[in-house]
């Protein structure tokens, strides 16, 4: 596919996303997708980019003005309308929770109320860590990891212990925890609450580039209802936020990553993903460390 063909293809994709294809353009897009495998691959990339754009941008303020409330709007999935009742049934079942709320909250001196996190500083030296997605709240789970004391020149950021995330050949390590939001105080505010998650990461090998990531999902299901099947449907969450930090080679010490998420009151669980990605295959042999995980409910200052 030459650059002009690719340019044209993305014009068609954009028009398709805006539901403004003319019949001629629709026929052109269909024909191109039908005959060109590369066009189909680009179509899948485009679909993922669209989904990601909505997930990332829907939670951001539309205007930089302060104290402006942006009307909550459905995510792109919610906009798609089914043709038939049967399809609607399927879609409602799968997508009813797919609403991303975007609010602008006036920033000032916020009140931080810490939320209970299980073993936030990994001070339980014998703490078991389940494999895969957690089977409920009150536990850490994920890829291979162990609670350790200082080692490889890395000392715990808080207390005496930290979590060592063992290196994996695929270069991605993840640790999960599910928090129960059902007991959160009602407090003030509108349809959503703002929650901040922070965690600190460190590398045994500071010479390798790494990306540390926190992802948070606001989920309508109760914590005990979440399982590995939910993991594969996680993009249905009613709210999500991601923050990643690229750490350049030679950067030593703890790197703190934080992310804020607007969680609709309908959310009963908050699912946390804490992860690392090591792009350099040759550097996937040394561990990373995690410590000092904090989750706080943010309450905006009262209006004057």
Partner 1 sequence: MWQKFGSFESGTDFTAWASTICFYEAKYFQRTASRSPLHFDDDLLALLSTERAEDLEQHERRMEALEVCMESLREDDRGLLRTSCAGHGDITALAEKMGRAPRTLYNKLALLRRLLADCVMKRLQEESL
Beta bridge partners of 151: 154
Say if CB 143 and CB 166 are below 8 A apart: yes
Interaction between residue 10 and partner 1 (CB under 8 A): yes
44 binds partner 1 (CB under 8 A): yes
- Out of 53, 67, 144, 150, the only residue in the binding site for partner 1 (CB under 8 A) is 53
CB 47, min distance to partner 1, A: 8
Q: What's the longest Cα–Cα distance across the chain?
A: 67
* Helices first, then strands: H and E counts in the chain: 6, 12
Q: How far is the CB of 104 from partner 1 (least distance, A)?
A: 12
Q: Is 66 in the site for partner 1 (CB under 8 A)?
A: no
Does position 41 bind partner 1 by CB under 8 A? Answer: yes
Task: Tell me the closest approach of the beta carbon of residue 184 to partner 1, in angstroms.
Answer: 27
Residue with tokens 């270069």: 171
DSSP reduced 3-state for 158: coil
By CB under 8 A, the count of residues binding partner 1 is: 69
- Establish how many alpha carbons lie within 13 A of residue 155's alpha carbon, considering only the half-sphere containing its beta carbon: 3
Contact (CB, 8 A) for 259 and 214: yes
The interface region with partner 1, picked from 119-127, 160-168, 190-198, 276-284 by CB under 8 A, is 276-284
- Which of 99, 102, 103, 293 touches partner 1 by CB under 8 A? 102
Instruction: Choose among 259, 188, 253, 248: nearest CA to 218.
Output: 259
- The verdict on 21 binding partner 1 (CB under 8 A) reads yes
C-alpha torsion angle, residues 293, 296, 301, 302 (rounded to 10): 180
Structure tokens at 22: 């003319």
Q: Would you tell me which residues interact with partner 1 (CB under 8 A)? A: 6-7, 10-11, 13-21, 23, 26, 30, 33-34, 37, 40-46, 48-58, 60, 62, 70, 73, 76-77, 79-83, 87, 90-91, 94-95, 102, 171, 211, 213, 228-229, 231-233, 236, 242, 244, 246, 277, 279, 281
């Amino acid at each position: 596919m030459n650059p002009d063909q690719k340019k044209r293809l993305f014009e068609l994709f954009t028009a398709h996303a805006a539901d403004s294809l003319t019949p001629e353009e629709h026929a052109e897009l269909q024909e191109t997708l039908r005959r060109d495998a590369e066009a189909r691959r680009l179509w899948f990339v485009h679909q993922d980019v669209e989904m990601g754009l909505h997930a990332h941008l829907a939670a951001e303020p539309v205007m930089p003005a302060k104290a402006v409330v942006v009307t909550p709007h459905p995510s792109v999935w919610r906009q798609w309308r089914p043709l038939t009742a049967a399809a609607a049934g399927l879609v409602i079942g799968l997508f009813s929770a797919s609403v991303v709320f975007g609010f602008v909250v006036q920033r000032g001196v916020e009140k931080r109320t810490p939320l209970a996190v299980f073993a936030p500083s990994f001070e339980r030296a014998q703490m078991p860590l389940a494999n895969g997605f957690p089977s409920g709240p009150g536990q850490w789970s994920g890829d291979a990891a162990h609670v350790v004391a200082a080692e490889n020149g890395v000392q715990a950021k808080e207390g005496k212990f930290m979590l060592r995330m063992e290196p994996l050949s695929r270069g991605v390590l993840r640790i999960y925890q599910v928090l129960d939001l059902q007991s959160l105080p009602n407090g003030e505010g509108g349809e959503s609450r703002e929650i901040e998650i922070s965690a600190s990461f460190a590398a045994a090998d500071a010479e390798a580039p790494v990306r540390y990531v926190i992802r948070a999902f606001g989920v309508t299901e109760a914590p005990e209802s979440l399982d590995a099947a939910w993991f594969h449907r996680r993009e249905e969450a009613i709210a999500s936020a991601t923050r990643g930090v690229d750490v350049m080679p030679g950067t030593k010490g703890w790197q703190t990553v934080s992310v804020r998420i607007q969680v609709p009151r309908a959310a009963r669980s908050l699912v946390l993903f804490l992860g690392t990605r090591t792009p350099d295959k040759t550097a996937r042999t040394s561990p990373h460390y995690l410590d000092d995980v904090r989750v706080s409910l943010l309450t905006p200052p009262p209006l004057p």
